[in-house]
Amino acid sequence: MSDSAGTPDTRPRMIVDCDPGHDDAVALIVAAHVADVRGIVTVGGNADLERTTHNALVMRDLIGIDAPVHRGCGHPIVAKPHHAPSVHGESGLDGADLPTPVTPLDGTDGVGFIIDTCRAEEGLWLVPTGPLTNIGLALRQAPDIAERIAGVSLMGGGSFGNRSAVAEFNIWADPHAAAIVFETFEHAPGSLVMAGLDVTHRFQVTPERIDATRALPGQLAEILTGLFEFFSGTYLTRHDDGSMRGAALHDPLAVLAVTHPDLFSRRRRHVAVETTGDLTAGMTVIDERKLLERQAPNCDVLTDVDSEAAFDIVLDAIRASDPRIR
Ligand code: BDR
Ligand code: CA
């Protein structure tokens, strides 16, 4: 792709599959700045599908990009749908007065859009920041796309949980879809990258970072300040050990893992998803054994991030997205 001046866009190409959600909204802002966003697909997760799709359309307008937005799946493959109003509010994006979207939805078959786009162009990244329903179904319906993509960089999982003692929300919400994705990369040539809670809890919206956002000019910065205050508020009231100085800004790390891999430490491991356990459904089982009989690695497990550098990119992306500054 080229810009209006005919300069080729060499940024990584990606489809962001999301359930906005405060941190999904930031992932979209960051992706629009550092990547070539070929499409946005929505999934039910933080809120129901109608709300997450509405929120994706709001964000597309605010960011001012023309990437198509396609509605995906509202129901997990097997599990019942569950949302996260205690974290993101009933709307999925509580905390700011958001404008009404003015650009229409581009399609209602998000899974088909993923399949068609991956068949039309090789080397795309799929970047899911919500439950993996759309990605899992796309890989199941069109296994050939696994040979064509650069990889999947997802936010989810980790060595501890937030929705249960051992399960992170995105994996827990649709463990069967997640299992398809992780099993695919036991054979697929591309990369599977997991930005799980181990790394995302190291990337927090601290009071200083909210102040830095507030200090930026423009409508998007004002909206983001409200969203950050709400999101951090829910984290601070829901944690009791002093480990959180604000919300964990999970989802943009799945984008930055593609565009700025040097910001991260990682371990190459085999990861499987537990789909059935009464206590453990949705757990990402990371094989840390030193024994030779361990399974071959299928995943880059992110373990740490240069959070100052990563948040500087978030601030740059907010600045760059404001039409009055562009
Ligand atoms: C994940 O769940 C949602 O609350 C966030 O948007 C993030 O994708 C963190 O567990
Ligand atoms: Ca999300």
Q: What is the pTM of this model?
A: 0.97
Query: Quick one: pLDDT at residue 244?
Result: 93
Is pLDDT at 7 greater than 80 in this prediction?
no
Average pLDDT over residues 217-222: 95
Query: Quick one: pLDDT at residue 110?
Result: 98
Ligand 1 pocket residues where CB is under 6 Å:
21, 23-24, 46, 84, 87, 129-130, 155, 162, 168-170, 250-251
Is pLDDT at 1 greater than 80 in this prediction?
no
Query: Quick one: pLDDT at residue 53?
Result: 98
Q: Residue 61 in contact with residue 99, Cβ under 8 Å?
A: yes
Average pLDDT over residues 202-228: 97
Q: How many whole angstroms from 296 Cα to the centroid of ligand 2?
A: 29
Of ligand 1's listed atoms, the one at least distance from the Cα of 87 is 4
Task: Provide the mean pLDDT of the chain.
Answer: 96
Query: Quick one: pLDDT at residue 250?
Result: 98
9: pLDDT confidence band, cut at 50, 70 and 90? confident
Of 179, 171, 148, the residue nearest 13 (C-alpha): 148
> Cβ–Cβ contacts within 10 Å for residue 91, how many?
18
Percent of the chain with pLDDT strictly greater than 70: 97
Query: Quick one: pLDDT at residue 263?
Result: 98
What CATH code would you report for 13-320? 3.90.245.10
Average pLDDT over residues 125-134: 98
Break the chain into its structural domains and give their ranges.
13-320
Is pLDDT at 322 greater than 80 in this prediction?
no
Average pLDDT over residues 2-25: 87
Top mutation candidate among 87, 133, 169, 230 for ligand 1, by most atoms within 8 Å of CB: 169
Average pLDDT over residues 101-113: 98
Q: How many whole angstroms from 294 Cα to the centroid of ligand 2?
A: 31
Q: How many whole angstroms from 249 Cα to the centroid of ligand 2?
A: 10
Minimal-distance CA residue to ligand 1 atom 10: 169
Percent of the chain with pLDDT strictly greater than 90: 94
Stretch among 24-28, 109-113, 238-242 having the lowest mean pLDDT? 238-242
Of ligand 1's listed atoms, the one at least distance from the Cα of 23 is 6
Is pLDDT at 198 greater than 90 in this prediction?
yes
- The catalytic residues are 250
